[in-house]
């Protein structure tokens, strides 16, 4: 996903969240404070995902990488959309000390049908935005929109509620295609399992791709779904060898350093180039070239974190050609350079990175 242009912060819109600098053992950083806001009736699946994903991030200090707490507007138990209640740890005051605020999906008729949000919640979200990274899962985007935090930004929400969102908030650039959108420190996701992808993205931004991959493996989920991948497939396709492009993706992953043409990939799947290209986009939401570049860049990030290889060697091993080309890709997609990325993530992941596959 292409990174937005650098943004100058305002009093109501601080700079995008950046990973905390590495500190010595004598000055161990405290846990990153995460508050998940539940608005009744809350989507229970969304409410559970941040705690599950963030709690499994490995830590090399005495502190957990993240401390996740649940809040409701008044601190009282909240009803879910699935017939049971949840007891929170506190009320809106928990947002005051959060480094990241996550608004879980909700089925609130007032919010989804009329765009109406309790003024106390609006004030708490706006105040939290002065300090914290703001995140919504599924229909939680309606709350961020009602609080005025999505104005001038791209946003995502569950495709089923896209028409409602556009009717209520026509000035917001809703994108119904991606799994999640990261726009200058305000992040929104589509529905369902896209919340998992967004949480992995948060971990990747805070701790690097190696740690995110470990968390994905522990939770038995795919680490490779990019934010720009399509939310859903209009015409689901079978995964058998005769109709799926999975074999081509496996070939590309195995041979990142090779030049594989569309003709080569289509032939590997026993398809015409036209059929292969159409089916590949149906299955992944990306073109073969976009997917291949994304896979190469992911591996480059892994090598920057886990090895001392020179940038030119990493670029060659990942099929990105020269170090100049790798720098260009990282500047476009991550708004950083290979050396800056290595400085930010190498020291924080060295003790936790598994052996190179």
pLDDT at residue number 15: 40
pLDDT digits (tens, 9 = 90+) for 115-164: 999 999 999 999 999 999 999 999 999 999 999 999 989 999 999 999 99
Tokens 């670029």 label which residue? 315
Q: Percent of the chain scored above 70 by pLDDT?
A: 83
Q: CA–CA separation, 334 vs 106, rounded Å? A: 31
Which two tokens mark 27? 């000055």
Residue 153 CA: distances (Å) to CA of 141, 156, 295, 357: 12, 10, 27, 38
Q: What tens-digit pLDDT sequence spans the chain (357 residues)? A: 434 443 333 333 334 444 443 333 344 568 999 999 999 999 999 999 999 999 899 887 788 999 999 999 999 999 999 999 999 999 999 999 999 999 999 999 999 999 999 999 999 999 999 999 999 999 999 999 999 999 989 999 999 999 999 999 999 999 888 889 999 889 999 999 999 999 999 999 899 888 888 899 899 887 656 555 556 544 344 444 456 888 999 899 999 999 999 999 999 999 999 999 998 888 877 899 998 998 899 899 888 888 889 999 999 999 999 999 999 998 888 778 898 888 877 654 444 443 333
pLDDT at residue number 167: 96
pLDDT at residue number 73: 97
pLDDT digits (tens, 9 = 90+) for 294-323: 889 989 988 888 888 999 999 999 999 999
Q: CA–CA separation, 182 vs 184, rounded Å? A: 6
Q: CA–CA separation, 48 vs 33, rounded Å? A: 16
- Give yes or no for a contact between 342 and 305, defined as CB atoms under 8 angstroms apart: yes
pLDDT at residue number 343: 82
Q: CA–CA separation, 123 vs 114, rounded Å? A: 18
Give 201-257 as a DSSP string: HHHHHHH-HHHHHHHHHHTT--S---TTSBSS-SS----STTT-SHHHHHHHHHTTT
- Sign (positive/negative) of CA torsion 269, 275, 278, 279? negative
Nearest to 125 by CA among 37, 10, 19, 18: 37
pLDDT at residue number 19: 41
Three-class SS of residue 308?
coil
Listed in sequence order, the residues at least 6 apart from 128 whose beta carbon sits closer than 8 Å to its beta carbon are 35, 95, 96, 98, 101, 134
């Amino acid at each position: 996903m292409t990174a937005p242009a650098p943004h100058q912060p305002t009093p109501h819109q601080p700079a995008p969240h950046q990973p905390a600098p590495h500190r010595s053992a004598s000055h161990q950083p405290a846990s990153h404070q995460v508050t998940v806001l539940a608005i009744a009736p809350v989507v229970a699946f969304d409410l559970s995902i941040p705690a599950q994903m963030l709690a499994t991030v490995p830590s090399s200090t005495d502190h957990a990488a993240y401390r996740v707490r649940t809040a409701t507007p008044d601190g009282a138990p909240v009803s879910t959309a699935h017939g049971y209640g949840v007891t929170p740890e506190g009320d809106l005051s928990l947002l005051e000390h959060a480094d990241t605020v996550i608004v879980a999906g909700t089925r609130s008729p007032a919010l989804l049908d009329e765009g109406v949000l309790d003024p106390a919640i609006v004030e708490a979200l706006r105040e939290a935005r002065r300090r914290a990274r703001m995140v919504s899962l599924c229909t939680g985007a309606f709350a961020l929109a009602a609080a005025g935090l999505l104005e001038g930004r791209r946003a995502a929400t569950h495709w089923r509620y896209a028409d409602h969102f556009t009717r209520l908030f026509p000035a917001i650039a809703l994108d119904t295609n991606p799994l999640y959108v990261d726009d200058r420190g305000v992040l929104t996701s589509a529905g369902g399992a896209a919340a998992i992808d967004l949480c992995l993205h948060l971990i990747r931004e805070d701790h690097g791709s190696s740690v995110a991959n470990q968390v994905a493996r522990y939770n038995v989920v795919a680490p490779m779904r990019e934010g720009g991948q399509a939310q859903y497939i209009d015409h689901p396709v079978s995964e058998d060898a005769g109709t799926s492009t999975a074999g081509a993706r496996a070939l590309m992953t195995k041979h990142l350093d090779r030049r594989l043409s569309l003709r080569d990939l289509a032939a590997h799947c026993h398809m015409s180039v036209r059929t292969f290209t159409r089916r590949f986009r149906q299955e992944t939401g990306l073109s073969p070239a976009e997917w291949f570049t994304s896979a190469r860049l992911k591996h480059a990030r892994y090598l920057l974190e886990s090895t001392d290889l020179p940038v030119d060697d990493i670029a060659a091993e990942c099929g990105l050609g020269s170090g100049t080309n790798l720098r260009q890709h990282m500047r476009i997609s991550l708004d950083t350079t290979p050396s800056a990325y290595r400085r930010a993530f190498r020291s924080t992941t060295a003790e936790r990175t598994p052996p190179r596959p």
